[in-house]
Amino acid sequence: MNKERVKRILDVFDEMYPDAKCELVHQNELELLIAVMLSAQTTDASVNKLTASLFQKYRCVEDYANAPLSQLENDLRTIGLYRNKAKNIKAMAQKLLSDFDGKVPCDHETLQTLPGVGRKTANVVISEGFKVPAIAVDTHVERISKRLGLAFKKDTVLIVEKKLQKAIPQERWIKTHHQMIFFGRYHCKAVNPDCQHCSLIDICKEPKRKKYLNIKKD
């Protein structure tokens, strides 16, 4: 990986989003885990709207484990894939109680033994909940990595994660992860990236940028 390219990208991220952080509202590791599980194919804003009342009703892991599935489904029905999410959250809470004394594990491998918890969710929980360096590759991080030449278009999510870990200093993983999400969510969007006002247009590999290459920024 070209070190100059990486430095340039990180400098721009620092300039644009010095305070980037997790936008899922949560008070503890359990709420974080639930919020991340709910966020699959759903915006953080929709999750926050739902959890504002959900976290008032479900105060501890037992509340999720013991809730009738139909009740949990009903409480999640405003977001996509709610049936599947309700089933996984209930099963996850039951496993937390049976195998982990009701506590959210702080290591990556153990987290992935929980129902509905994959690599990306585990990475978010360890980095945001326990401040263990990790880079969760979601749809924004994958797209940005490929557009900015930090990974190839054909790379799998796992390869993208490995390449980012290699290219970015470990002490920056958590911060850069949030900055990439902000960059993808608010600037370099999937359909309409703001190439006209992008400081990285000269090193970007996205074909959509071409029509703006010679336009002076306003």
Binding-site residues, please? 188, 195, 198, 204
Q: How far is the CB of 186 from ligand SF4 (least distance, A)?
A: 11
| Binding flag, residue 141, ligand SF4 (CB under 6 A) | no
Give the interface segment with ligand SF4, choosing from 14-22, 84-92, 153-161, 200-208 (CB under 6 A): 200-208
Q: Does 206 bind ligand SF4 (CB under 6 A)?
A: yes
Binding-site entries for [4Fe-4S] cluster: 188, 195, 198, 204
Q: Which of 12, 26, 200, 218 binds ligand SF4 (CB under 6 A)?
A: 200
Judged by CB under 6 A, the residue of 118, 194, 211, 215 near ligand SF4 is: 194
How many other CB atoms sit within 10 Å of the CB of residue 131?
10
Query: Any idea what the Cα angle at residue 40 is, between residues 81 and 74, rounded to 5°?
Result: 35
Q: Which stretch binds ligand SF4 (CB under 6 A): 70-78, 86-94, 112-120, 201-209?
A: 201-209
138 in catalytic set: yes
**Total number of residues that touch ligand SF4 (CB under 6 A):** 14
Choice among 85, 90, 138, 163 that is catalytic: 138
Binder to ligand SF4 among 9, 151, 167, 198 (CB under 6 A)?
198
- Per CB under 6 A, residues contacting ligand SF4 are 147-148, 187-188, 193-195, 198, 200-201, 204, 206, 208-209
